A = this chain, B = another copy of it.
Amino acid sequence: MFREKIKVLDCTIRDGGLINNHDFDLRFVREVYKALSEAGVDYMEMGYKNSKKLFSAKEYGKWKFCEDDDIKKVIDGIKSNTKISVMVDVDRVDVEDVLPRKNSPVAMIRVASYVKDIDKAIFLVNHFADKGYETTVNIMAISRALDNELTEALEQLEKESKAKVIYIVDSFGALYQETTEFLIKKARSIVKTKEIGMHAHNNQQLAFSNTIEAIIHDANFVDGTVYGLGRAAGNCPLELILGFLKNPKFDIRPILDLISKEFVPLREKIEWGYIIPYAITGILDEHPRAAMALRNSDKKENYREFYEKLVSEVGE
């Protein structure tokens, strides 16, 4: 038995791009798209739709901008039912860059927002919905959201937004399953006309179990990345989600091939996964940026000092 409504979104290239300035080459992205298509994954998110007025195309790879022409080069000639998604950040997108859905290879636009920016997120998501896109609002840093403010944001999203899905995003990898249950149930109780989604980070090796927990409590959109690739500790491994879900439309084998051929070699070049400084920021409910800086320093294995520094910074 399976729940047909569950949709799997792969954000390997988007979240993985946060490690390498979104500079994956076309061949690699095509291999990912091909494998996801064969595996029956519902959506593939390629990157961010940022304004080139704000970020230099010389400093970042093309998946920082996700222009339609670059996306077309990825999908050209590959048989697929996998829909394309891009993410936008509040204040970083020029809505004029986004063509109407019927003229674009993109099917879904996801708006990432902190609770405090929810009005801006609703403006954006409604704009994209009016252009014909499937849309989501992804509420970031949920482990730091104050309960009353989160309640208000969820009520606004339910009443005022045209988003199809509201995502809970555990940006810091700080949630345990009890809090995941609380948040998904809370969202479900307020957001009655839309789907709920879960995007988890793996700092404490809980991304997969929190994703299962969300599914148990009726989230129907779940995010994963191939081999858990993603900033810092990375994300929920897509291959584990496919192993768990019983929908016969999914096939894990193309993803196993892809990991063997592309991701094992990639892991030799860039770092992500269960690494103690990321576990520490997860335990302390902190953004991983201090841990990322540590990993780029000559004190990269100096865990105790890092922990004591973070703890000492907590204060009144």
Interface residues of A (CB under 8 A from B): 176-178, 202, 204-210, 212-213, 216, 227-228, 237, 239-240, 243-244, 252-253, 256-257, 259-260, 264, 273-274, 276, 279-280, 283, 301-304, 307-308
Some 25 contacts from A to B, beta carbons below 8 A apart, are A176-B212, A176-B244, A178-B216, A204-B208, A204-B240, A205-B207, A205-B208, A205-B237, A206-B209, A208-B209, A227-B276, A228-B274, A239-B276, A239-B279, A240-B279, A240-B283, A243-B279, A244-B283, A252-B283, A252-B307, A256-B280, A260-B303, A264-B301, A273-B274, A274-B274
A303-B256 CB under 8 A given contacts A205-B202, A243-B279, A283-B243: yes
Q: Which of B178, B216, B257, B273 contacts A303 (CB 8 A)?
A: B257
In the complex, are the beta carbons of A276 and B256 less than 8 A apart? yes
A135–B22 Cα distance when bound, in Å, is 55
Please, which residue of chain B has its CB at the minimum distance from the CB of A264?
Answer: B301
Q: Which of B205, B257, B307, B308 contacts A304 (CB 8 A)?
A: B257
Q: Which residues of B contact A243 (CB under 8 A)?
A: 204, 279-280, 283
A283–B244 Cα distance when bound, in Å, is 7
Chain A to chain B: the 7 pairs with minimum beta-carbon distance, closest first: A209-B209, A243-B283, A256-B303, A256-B304, A257-B304, A260-B301, A260-B303
| Given A228-B274, A260-B276, A273-B274: 4 more A-B contacts, CB < 8 Å | A176-B244, A205-B209, A209-B209, A240-B279
> Closest CB of chain B to A34's CB: distance in Å?
14
In the complex, are the beta carbons of B303 and A212 less than 8 A apart? no
A302-B260 CB under 8 A given contacts A177-B177, A243-B279: yes
> Closest CB of chain B to A245's CB: distance in Å?
11
Chain B CB within 10 A, most for which of A202, A210, A264: A264
A69–B253 Cα distance when bound, in Å, is 51
Please, which residue of chain B has its CB at the minimum distance from the CB of A209?
Answer: B209
Please, which residue of chain B has its CB at the minimum distance from the CB of A277?
Answer: B256
Q: Which of B209, B244, B276 contacts A259 (CB 8 A)?
A: B276
A296–B33 Cα distance when bound, in Å, is 31
A279–B178 Cα distance when bound, in Å, is 25
Q: Which residues of B contact A308 (CB under 8 A)?
A: 253
